[in-house]
A and B are shown apart, each in its own frame.
Chain A
Amino acid sequence: MPRRFDRDEERRGERGERMERGAPRGPISKKSCRYCGSRFESIDYKNERQMRKAISDRGKILPRRITGNCAKHQRQVALAVKYARHLALLPFVAEAHR
């Protein structure tokens, strides 16, 4: 499970300094929403490869703090993953964890 940072810690990380707790880490790069940049990549529940990128290896929807998606697109991605799960294009729970 990735650790959660509060804002303060994150800012320190961006300057490339050491985190207060835990192992040393490189600077945290600023993530940007994958769907905002390109006008052509629309979110499609039928696109299995795209949907696989939106879930963890357990089959959970990746949170915004990991993907860097904007709120608008994160809502669309979450809905698309749920459609894909309904159609059994994606698992609800990854096979290895069943």
Chain B
Amino acid sequence: MKTYETTLILSPILPEADWETKVSKYEGIITANQGEIKRKEIWGIRRMGYTIRGREQGYYVHFQYQSPGELPRELERNFLLDEDILRYLTVLVPASTPSRPEALPAKGVENAPSI
């Protein structure tokens, strides 16, 4: 199981109820494929850095979830079919690595796990 982050940009011209149904639809896909949603953020309508399909604004939604590796592919297949999604990005969240060398167990420590 790995942690992924997906951000979606939905079309800003949808009625408000449609945003909610779409968000819950994708939440449903995550949970139906053994994914576990860790964080869900609705950033709402934002001005975009450039126009996408003629739109200057987008409705941003962000998820962080833990799932098997097949789920991001399945999710993105659904995103491609959805014409109201202007853009999406899935990023693998790196497993937290010790930032400083002293956080690593010292070599030759007695209770170090044997390989």
Contact = CB atoms under 8 A, between A and B. Distances in A.
B50 A88 contact: yes
Interface string B92-110: 0000000110000000000
User: What class of interface size applies to chain B in its complex with A?
Assistant: 10 to 19
The binding surface of chain A is classed by DSSP as loop
Nearest to B86: A88
The 8 tightest CB contacts between A and B, nearest first, are: A88-B48, A91-B49, A88-B49, A90-B49, A91-B50, A87-B89, A86-B89, A87-B7
Given A83-B89, A87-B7, A92 B49 contact: yes
A45 B49 CA distance: 14
A79 to B, nearest CB: 10
B9 interface: yes
Contacts of A92: 49-50
A87 B9 contact: yes
Given A46-B62, A83-B91, A88 B99 contact: no
Interface residues of A, number: 13
Contacts of B91: 45, 83
Given A39-B99, A46-B62, A88 B52 contact: yes
Contacts of B49: 85, 88-92
Interface in A31-67: 39, 45-46
Contact of A87 (B87, B99, B100): B87
B72 to A, nearest CB: 15
